[in-house]
Amino acid sequence: MQVFQEPIAARHDTGANHPERPQRLDAVNEALSDLGLIARSLAGTRWAEADETIAFISTLHEPRYIERFRRACADGRSYMDVVDCAICPESFHAAVAAAGCALAAADAAMSGSGTAAFSAMRPPGHHAEADRAMGFCFFNNIALAAQRLIEAHGLERVAIVDFDVHHGNGTQHLFESRGDVLYLSTHQHPATLYPGTGYEWERGTRGTPGEGCTLNIPLAPGSGHAEALDAFGRLVVPALKHYRPQALLVSAGFDAEARDPLAMLRWTPETYRAISALLADAAAELAAGRIVTVLEGGYDTGALKEGLTQHLAAIDSRLNG
């Protein structure tokens, strides 16, 4: 498995007591160390050049928004668009690097050197809309990875599975009129949790190629391991088999775990291993083993480390065991 990370991710300073804090990276790197995985930088990839990455970001995000974000950081503002999107002068560069690592991971999954890749970066991305920041997110890293696979590698069908406890409103909205991306999300029921989107009836824009290419699976507060396995076995995996993606992307949030302070699901580390094994099996069967993980949420560092360890170990054992 190829892992990408840039040191600037730790310099995205969100301030004291913010859930999406630099210490999350310590938990991520402990998980990588336990698994014997070494993160590489963007050096040697086209995404080492920030201008190249920004140009690609503009394929999904409005240029005026990108410039607003750059200037907000340069001017020393404390947040972007909403107060929960805390920023510092380094935040723009960190978000560009996070997008670059997701793009590098997408490229790596298509290379002959390995089919599994992981972007071990922050800030996360799945709440970011085309023209605004939301929910700790600035650029939609997973959506950019999907766009890269389609635009540069010629794929016609890409699937994104999002198991963050919060619905990925930005990812859904970027692709809801398109048929070349299938978006599947398990999350705590939107009537009970931010951002309030992701109802079952949200299935893509009617009358467009995207109609039917969105599958939302809301879970009631208190749902645990059994409900997660039922959702993946009964709904997620069959939807993947019907769509037959040529690559599988995973928005991996570890905040559905019982210890997480921001939500009310009751998943365990074993839940992440079980659902990740199902996803790896689907990638092997349908997508030549091409599977890319992009880090999203997870705000209890112990739960983040353990859940990520189980996720990456399951992928490795299924694809290489």
Taking CA atoms, 171 is separated from 123, 146, 214, 233, in Å, by 15, 10, 10, 23
Examine the residue annotation and report whether 12 is marked as an active-site residue of this protein: no
Contacts of 163 (CB under 8 A, 6+ apart): 185, 186, 187, 250, 251, 252, 253, 256, 275
Q: How many CB atoms lie within 10 A of CB 18?
A: 13
pLDDT of amino acid 321: 72
| pLDDT value at residue 225 | 98
Q: How many CA atoms lie within 13 A of 110 on its CB side?
A: 19
Q: How far apart are CA 84 and CA 204, in angstroms?
A: 28
The pLDDT, as a whole number, for residue 214 is 98
The Cα 283–Cα 143 span in angstroms is: 18
pLDDT at position 320: 87
For the full predicted model, state whether its pTM sits above 0.95.
yes
Where along the chain do its domains lie? Answer: 2-320
Helix H or strand E encompassing 286 = helix 269-286
Q: What is the pLDDT of residue 71?
A: 98
> Quick one: CA dihedral 221, 225, 227, 232, positive or negative?
positive
Q: Kindly name the residue from 12, 61, 126, 127 that is annotated as catalytic.
A: 127
The one-digit pLDDT tens for each residue of the chain (321 residues) are 999 999 999 999 999 999 999 999 999 999 999 999 999 999 999 999 999 999 999 999 999 999 999 999 999 999 999 999 999 999 999 999 999 999 999 999 999 766 899 999 999 999 999 999 999 999 999 999 999 999 999 999 999 999 999 999 999 999 999 999 999 999 999 999 999 999 999 999 999 999 999 999 999 999 999 999 999 999 999 999 999 999 999 999 999 999 999 999 999 999 999 999 999 999 999 999 999 999 999 999 999 999 999 999 999 999 987
Which architecture, in CATH terms, is 2-320? Answer: 3-Layer(aba) Sandwich (3.40)
Burial 197-225 (b: 16+ CB within 10 A, else e): bbeeebebbeeeebeebbbbbbbeeebeb
